[in-house]
């Protein structure tokens, strides 16, 4: 039994004494202990070495005592397993030297056995569970099929993912074939993670907000729904769509246990759009962690008051930034732990 099950209880919609707290990208780049490892090992070596990945996962827990850990990894290990080359270039980000642009390219993409090709992730989960020693739950994650497609077609990060959108709109048959291959792989991957020991999974649709509501339904949501349908009876599923406030109504009826909200959507609107009966997660602006600690604590308290303490998980509205002072991140976590309903 997990000793601190606040996070899992909030996912079930149970009444809690205070909301649980964790931070997206909490295992990583703002921590000095992470930077010490980064100096010695390149990005994918960190992801692919179970000892390193598990150590990075528990670093923020040791420092701040969040209510959940999230496995250190990357969404782009999926395309790597699918026979798509992915590099992580310093000061540039993801780079795919052979982006997918044609139906023939899609044919070359394989659906792997993820237990085999991504076995290092499963090993990292097992090592992390040992280190956590049933103190708190562990979250596994994957990118949404649309978000993965964005990188596979664009070949790198982008402000508008114009090449990815052009591929979907000019070659829809090939695009849907690729999306289905990514979806099948992601389902297999997340199921393997649950078998390895994660207590919940999160799907990151980081680039969902690039699409119109109609295109979102066609090229993103219907594939996320497949993932939820396949996983919901095995583990709680959290869906985070950045810029996807327009889809909160559909998301709330999907069978997901919780929905992530970014900082551009107010708590009131998020509750209204989602129907008020599902757990919400978010939505502190990551840049606001640059404010003084006292101000952070005040704003976090106001955020919890706005969402309400139940059916709510305190988090950021996207990943923590690398330039956040460690005491400011600490103030965020402390404010949630100290929260008491008036």
To the question of whether residue 25 is assigned a binding role by annotation, the answer is yes
To the question of whether residue 29 is assigned a binding role by annotation, the answer is yes
What are the phi and psi torsion angles at 261 (to 5°)?
A: -125, 135
To the question of whether residue 206 is assigned a binding role by annotation, the answer is yes
Q: What is the pairing mode between strands 237-241 and 258-261?
A: parallel
To the question of whether residue 26 is assigned a binding role by annotation, the answer is yes
Q: Is 263 left (phi over 0), alpha (psi -120 to 50) or beta?
A: alpha
> Rounded CA gap, 99 and 296, in Å?
41
Q: Residue 141: enclosing H or E segment and its boundaries?
A: strand 138-143
What are the phi and psi torsion angles at 202 (to 5°)?
A: -125, 135
To the question of whether residue 44 is assigned a binding role by annotation, the answer is yes
To the question of whether residue 74 is assigned a binding role by annotation, the answer is yes
Return the number of other C-beta atoms located less than 10 Å from residue 75's C-beta: 18
To the question of whether residue 93 is assigned a binding role by annotation, the answer is no
Q: Are 141 and 73 in contact (CB under 8 A)?
A: yes
Alpha carbon distance, N-terminus to C-terminus of the chain: 31
What are the phi and psi torsion angles at 249 (to 5°)?
A: -60, -50
> Rounded CA gap, 87 and 52, in Å?
19
Q: Are 34 and 41 in contact (CB under 8 A)?
A: no
Q: Are 309 and 13 in contact (CB under 8 A)?
A: no
To the question of whether residue 171 is assigned a binding role by annotation, the answer is no
Query: Exposure of 157 by Cβ count < 10 A (0-12 exposed, 13-18 middle, 19+ buried)?
Result: middle
Output the known binding site.
25-29, 44, 74, 151, 206, 318
Output the known binding site for substrate.
25-29, 44, 74, 151, 206, 318
């Amino acid at each position: 039994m997990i000793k601190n099950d606040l996070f899992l209880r909030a996912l079930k919609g149970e009444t809690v004494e205070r909301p649980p707290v964790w931070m997206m990208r909490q295992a990583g780049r703002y921590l000095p202990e992470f930077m010490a490892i980064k100096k010695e090992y390149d990005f994918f070596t960190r992801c692919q070495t179970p000892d390193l990945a598990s150590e990075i996962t528990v670093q923020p827990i040791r420092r701040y005592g969040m209510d959940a850990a999230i496995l250190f990894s990357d969404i782009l290990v999926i395309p790597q397993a699918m026979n798509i080359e992915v590099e992580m270039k310093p000061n540039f980000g993801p780079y795919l030297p052979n982006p997918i642009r044609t139906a023939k390219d899609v044919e070359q993409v394989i659906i792997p056995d993820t237990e085999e090709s991504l076995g290092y992730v499963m090993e990292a989960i097992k090592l992390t569970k040992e280190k956590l020693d049933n103190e708190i739950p562990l979250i596994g994650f994957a990118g949404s099929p649309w978000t993965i497609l964005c990188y596979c077609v664009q070949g790198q990060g982008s402000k508008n993912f114009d090449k990815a959108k052009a591929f979907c709109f000019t070659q829809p048959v090939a695009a849907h074939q690729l999306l289905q291959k990514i979806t099948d792989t992601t389902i297999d991957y997340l199921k393997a993670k649950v078998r390895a020991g994660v207590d919940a999974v999160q799907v990151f649709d980081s680039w969902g907000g690039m699409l119109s509501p109609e295109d979102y339904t066609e090229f993103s949501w219907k594939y996320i729904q497949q993932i939820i349908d396949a996983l919901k009876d095995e583990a709680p599923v959290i869906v985070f769509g950045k810029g996807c406030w327009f889809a909160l109504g559909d998301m709330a009826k999907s069978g997901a246990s919780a929905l992530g909200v970014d900082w551009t959507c107010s708590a009131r609107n998020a509750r209204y759009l989602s129907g008020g009966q599902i757990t919400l997660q978010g939505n502190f602006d990551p840049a606001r962690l640059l404010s003084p600690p006292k101000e952070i604590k005040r704003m976090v308290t106001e955020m919890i008051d706005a969402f309400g303490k139940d059916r709510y998980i305190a988090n950021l509205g996207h990943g923590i930034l690398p330039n956040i002072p460690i005491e400011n991140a600490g103030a965020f976590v402390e404010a949630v732990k100290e929260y008491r309903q008036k």
